[in-house]
């Protein structure tokens, strides 16, 4: 999922300055899991904004706002509300905000679409409702087959491909003593699998061209450009 | 002079280290910056002097410029190069620049993380790792860049690398050391080690590689500084006994004690390998007397 955190209310209000009638859009996908933009969080923010003097004219929470196939059918029947709004505020990732903008543009509106969250990356849920962790960098060139299913590109603070730096102590990273050294984890995993010899292989520098932004995925062809 | 040449001659290679100033170091007739004076003072006692590259991720005068300044003073610099601040284009370009400006020795490192330094909001680069850097530098020595494009003239650089004998599991660190050798490392400088058993275990694992190693030694300047290293410098452990020994003398005796401990460790641990690399952290004046004693031992 895409991890999100809430922007402080003051920042949201500053973004909405000059706009009175607000259309709130949530996301019942990733933002729901992060407890930042599901139906409940949208309702809670609606109340806070109302207390701050805003007129909340509609609340809508598509299942996955970043997917036009989900957000389009939810927003299209609400065109009169969108027409009446001074601005939309989206509680979703940056992708959800931009898809919401594109959907409104397609409907012929030129409305400000503001964001109420900060996107913090591709996150994998470890403890539901409590903790998610970045375990994949979407680099376009997966090397998990070589590293025991643990990604050094993401979990090593320096994205080292050929083993640890000298900074780890007692299996912990030099950047954060609470964090496991990814390479010690990889080593232990490969040792348990009896595959330490595999770890001795030199891994070439990554082709960061495969992660060069903005990437476009052509789903039918399975092609990225 | 390449360090590799000295090792080939069977010389016990002694090096020290200076950190460039945080500031511009144009002299304009004034006295040279302190780090240059430090290097000048030890020049007759060491084979070469490492010049750190934005050490501890703190922004300073560039390592290449500082290395060239040392070279102009007749001091052999070892140009340290980390992967933290430059992508593969910039690293290769700087290797060409280094060779062009007369640098003979490069030490290829990963580099401390940005978060440990004074520009924590900066974007860490780490486009390639230290093993890649060695591989690429060897390619430049052979006349081609990392994409295989020919160079109009190849570089001619001795390639050094680092290893941390304190690392656990040591096997994993040794694995990386082997990769570095396979990809071009011609000599190693170790992280600071104070425990003879730890160093001996490492030496036994590494001696079969037949690549020269220099024992790394950070001068312990005070009990507080040793404590600080234990708490804040990853990858280094100063044994309690050493801290107590340092604390057994009054503060005005720290320098003499530091010299005594440095010499003892250099004798006990340094002589297990092919050279010593001192990291005096500003106390370079300890290097000449320690080296004089070591040379008396035939080292």
**B130-140 in b/e burial notation, b at 16+ Cβ within 10 A?**
bbbbbbbbbbb
Per-residue pLDDT of B245-278, as tens digits, reads 999 999 999 999 999 999 999 999 999 999 999 9
| Cα-only R_g, chain A | 22
Residue A171's pLDDT is: 95
Burial class (CB in 10 A: 0-12, 13-18, 19+), B262: buried
Is B126 within 8 Å of chain A by CB? yes
Residues of A in contact with B172 (CB under 8 A): 163-164, 183-184, 187
Domain that holds residue A56: 2-122
CA distance B175 to chain A (A): 6
Portion 238-257 of B in contact with A at CB < 8 A: none
Is B85 within 8 Å of chain A by CB? no
Same-domain status, A78 and A161: no
Residues of A in contact with B191 (CB under 8 A): 166
Same-domain status, A104 and A24: yes
Asked if residue B25 has pLDDT above 90, the reply is: no
Asked if residue A214 has a cis previous peptide bond (ω within 30° of 0), the answer is yes
Residues of A in contact with B112 (CB under 8 A): 167, 174
| CB-nearest partner of A183 from B128, B146, B172 | B172
Is B145 within 8 Å of chain A by CB? no
CATH number at residue A15: 3.40.50.2300
In-domain check, residue A132: no
Per-residue pLDDT of B160-179, as tens digits, reads 999 999 999 999 999 999 99
Residue B234's pLDDT is: 82
Average the pLDDT over B67-81 and give the result: 97
Instruction: Decide: helix, strand or coil at residue A206.
Output: coil
Asked if residue B26 has pLDDT above 90, the reply is: no
* Interface predicted TM-score of the whole assembly (ipTM), two decimals: 0.94
In-domain check, residue A199: yes
| CA–CA gap between residue B100 and residue A153 (Å, rounded) | 34
Instruction: Decide: helix, strand or coil at residue B51.
Output: strand
Residue B298's pLDDT is: 80
In-domain check, residue A178: yes
Q: Do B235 and A200 touch (CB under 8 A)?
A: no
Give the confidence band of B45 by pLDDT, cuts at 50, 70, 90.
very high
Same-domain status, A111 and A144: no
Same-domain status, A153 and A195: yes
Is A166 within 8 Å of chain B by CB? yes
In-domain check, residue A133: no
Residue B233's pLDDT is: 86
In-domain check, residue A56: yes
Is A70 within 8 Å of chain B by CB? no
Structural domains in chain B plus CATH codes: 3-296 (3.20.20.220)
| CA–CA gap between residue B188 and residue A14 (Å, rounded) | 56
Residues of B in contact with A163 (CB under 8 A): 131, 172-173, 175-176, 179
Q: Do B235 and A164 touch (CB under 8 A)?
A: no
Q: For chain A, give percent helix, strand, coil, nearest 5.
A: 35, 20, 45
| CB-nearest partner of B172 from A174, A176, A184 | A184
Q: Which of B28, B97, B13 is nearest to B63 (CA)?
A: B97
Residue A184's pLDDT is: 98
Q: Which of A122, A155, A175 delimits the end of a domain? A: A122
CA of B127: how far to CAs of A124, B114, B124, in Å? 24, 14, 9
pLDDT exceeding 70 applies to what percent of chain B? 100
Is A218 within 8 Å of chain B by CB? no
CA distance B131 to chain A (A): 7
Q: Do A184 and B164 touch (CB under 8 A)?
A: no
Q: Which of B68, B254, B289 is nearest to B278 (CA)?
A: B289
Quickly count: other Cβ atoms within 10 Å of residue B93's Cβ: 13
Quick one: closest CA in B to A205, which residue? Answer: B128
In-domain check, residue A222: no
Portion 65-84 of B in contact with A at CB < 8 A: 83-84
Average the pLDDT over B237-251 and give the result: 96
CA distance A175 to chain B (A): 6
CB–CB contacts below 8 A, A to B: 91
Asked if residue B297 has pLDDT above 90, the reply is: no
Burial class (CB in 10 A: 0-12, 13-18, 19+), B166: buried
Asked if residue B169 has a cis previous peptide bond (ω within 30° of 0), the answer is yes
Residues of B in contact with A212 (CB under 8 A): none
Same-domain status, A173 and A199: yes
As given in the structure block, the two tokens for residue B282 are 């500003």
Asked if residue B159 has pLDDT above 80, the reply is: yes
Same-domain status, A66 and A20: yes
Average the pLDDT over B2-10 and give the result: 98
Same-domain status, A160 and A197: yes
Is A209 within 8 Å of chain B by CB? no
Is A105 within 8 Å of chain B by CB? no
In-domain check, residue A127: no
CA distance A183 to chain B (A): 8
Instruction: Decide: helix, strand or coil at residue B43.
Output: coil
Same-domain status, A37 and A86: yes
pLDDT < 70 positions in chain A: none
Instruction: Check if the beta carbon of residue B124 is closer than 8 Å to that of residue B87.
Output: no
User: Taking all residues of chain B, what is their mean pLDDT, rounded to a whole number?
Assistant: 96
Residue B61's pLDDT is: 96
Per-residue pLDDT of B182-236, as tens digits, reads 999 999 999 999 999 999 999 999 999 999 999 999 999 999 999 999 998 888 9
CA distance B234 to chain A (A): 5
Quick one: closest CA in A to B115, which residue? Answer: A175
Is A161 within 8 Å of chain B by CB? yes
Q: β-strands A223-224, A217-218: how paired?
A: antiparallel
Same-domain status, A31 and A113: yes
In-domain check, residue A176: yes
Place of tokens 């207390």: A51
Residue A166's pLDDT is: 93
The number of folded domains in chain A is: 2
Q: Do B129 and A158 touch (CB under 8 A)?
A: yes
A interface mutation test: which of B172, B181, B279 has the most A CBs within 10 A? B172
Per-residue pLDDT of B114-158, as tens digits, reads 999 999 999 999 999 999 999 999 999 999 999 999 999 999 999
| CA–CA gap between residue A36 and residue A4 (Å, rounded) | 7
| CA–CA gap between residue B164 and residue B273 (Å, rounded) | 14
Burial class (CB in 10 A: 0-12, 13-18, 19+), B42: buried
Q: Which of A122, A154, A178 delimits the end of a domain? A: A122
| CB-nearest partner of A160 from B129, B175, B235 | B129
Mutual angle of helices B88-100 and B130-141, in 10-degree steps = 50
Scanning chain B, the segments in alpha helix (DSSP H) are 3-8, 34-42, 63-72, 88-100, 130-141, 170-182, 196-206, 223-232, 240-247, 254-268, 287-296
Q: Do B128 and A164 touch (CB under 8 A)?
A: no
Q: pTM here?
A: 0.95
Asked if residue B32 has pLDDT above 90, the reply is: no
Same-domain status, A77 and A172: no
Residue B235's pLDDT is: 87
Q: Which of A122, A152, A185 delimits the end of a domain? A: A122
| CB-nearest partner of B176 from A162, A174, A184 | A162
Q: Which of B185, B241, B191 is nearest to B211 (CA)?
A: B185
Instruction: Check if the beta carbon of residue B129 is closer than 8 Å to that of residue B87.
Output: no
Residues of B in contact with A204 (CB under 8 A): 132
Same-domain status, A111 and A150: no
Instruction: Check if the beta carbon of residue A158 is closer than 8 Å to that of residue B129.
Output: yes
Is A187 within 8 Å of chain B by CB? yes
Instruction: Decide: helix, strand or coil at residue A108.
Output: coil
Same-domain status, A8 and A115: yes
């Amino acid at each position: 999922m895409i991890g999100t955190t809430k922007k402080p209310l003051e920042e949201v209000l500053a973004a909405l300055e000059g706009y009175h009638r607000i259309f709130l859009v949530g996301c019942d996908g990733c933002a729901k899991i992060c407890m930042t933009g599901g139906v409940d969080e949208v309702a809670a923010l609606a109340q806070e904004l109302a207390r701050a003097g805003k007129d909340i004219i509609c609340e809508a929470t598509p299942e996955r706002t970043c997917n036009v196939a989900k957000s389009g059918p939810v927003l299209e029947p609400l065109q009169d509300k969108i027409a009446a709004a001074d601005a939309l505020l989206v509680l979703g990732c940056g992708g959800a905000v931009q898809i919401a903008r594109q959907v409104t543009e397609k409907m012929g509106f030129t409305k400000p679409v503001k964001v109420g969250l900060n996107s913090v990356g591709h996150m994998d849920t470890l403890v539901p409702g409590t903790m998610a962790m970045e375990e994949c960098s979407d680099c376009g060139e997966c090397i998990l087959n070589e590293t025991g299913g643990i990604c050094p590109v993401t979990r090593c603070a320096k994205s080292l491909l050929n083993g640890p730096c000298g900074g780890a102590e007692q299996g912990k990273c030099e950047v954060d003593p609470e964090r496991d050294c990814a390479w010690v984890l990889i080593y232990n995993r490969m040792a348990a699998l009896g595959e330490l010899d595999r770890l001795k292989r030199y891994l070439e520098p990554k082709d960061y061209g495969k992660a060069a932004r903005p990437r476009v995925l052509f789903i039918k062809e399975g092609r990225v450009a | 002079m390449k360090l590799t040449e000295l090792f080939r001659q069977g010389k016990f290679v002694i090096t020290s280290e200076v950190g460039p100033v945080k500031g511009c170091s144009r002299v304009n007739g004034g006295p040279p910056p302190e780090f240059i004076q430090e290097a000048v003072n030890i020049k007759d006692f060491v084979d070469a002097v490492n010049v750190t590259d934005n050490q501890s991720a703190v922004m300073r005068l560039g390592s290449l410029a500082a290395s060239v300044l040392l070279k102009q003073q007749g001091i052999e610099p070892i140009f340290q190069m980390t992967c933290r601040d430059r992508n593969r284009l910039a690293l290769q370009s700087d290797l060409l620049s280094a060779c062009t400006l007369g640098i003979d020795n490069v030490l290829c490192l990963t580099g401390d993380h940005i978060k440990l330094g004074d520009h924590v909001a900066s974007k860490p680069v780490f486009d390639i790792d230290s093993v890649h850097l060695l591989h690429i530098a060897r390619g430049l020595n052979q006349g081609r860049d990392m994409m295989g494009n020919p160079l109009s003239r190849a570089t001619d650089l001795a390639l050094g690398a680092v290893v941390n004998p304190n690392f656990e599991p040591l096997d994993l660190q040794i694995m990386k050391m082997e990769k570095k050798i396979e990809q071009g490392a011609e000599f190693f400088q170790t992280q600071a080690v104070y425990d003879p058993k730890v160093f001996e275990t490492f030496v036994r694992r590494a001696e079969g590689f037949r690549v020269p190693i220099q024992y790394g030694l950070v001068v312990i300047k005070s009990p507080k500084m040793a404590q600080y290293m234990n708490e804040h410098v990853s990858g280094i452990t100063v044994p309690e006994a050493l801290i107590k020994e340092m604390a057994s003398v009054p503060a005005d005796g720290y320098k003499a004690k530091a010299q005594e401990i440095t010499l003892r460790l250099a004798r006990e641990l340094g002589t297990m390998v092919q050279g010593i690399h001192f990291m005096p952290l500003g106390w370079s004046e300890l290097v000449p007397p320690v080296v004089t004693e070591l040379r008396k031992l035939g080292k």
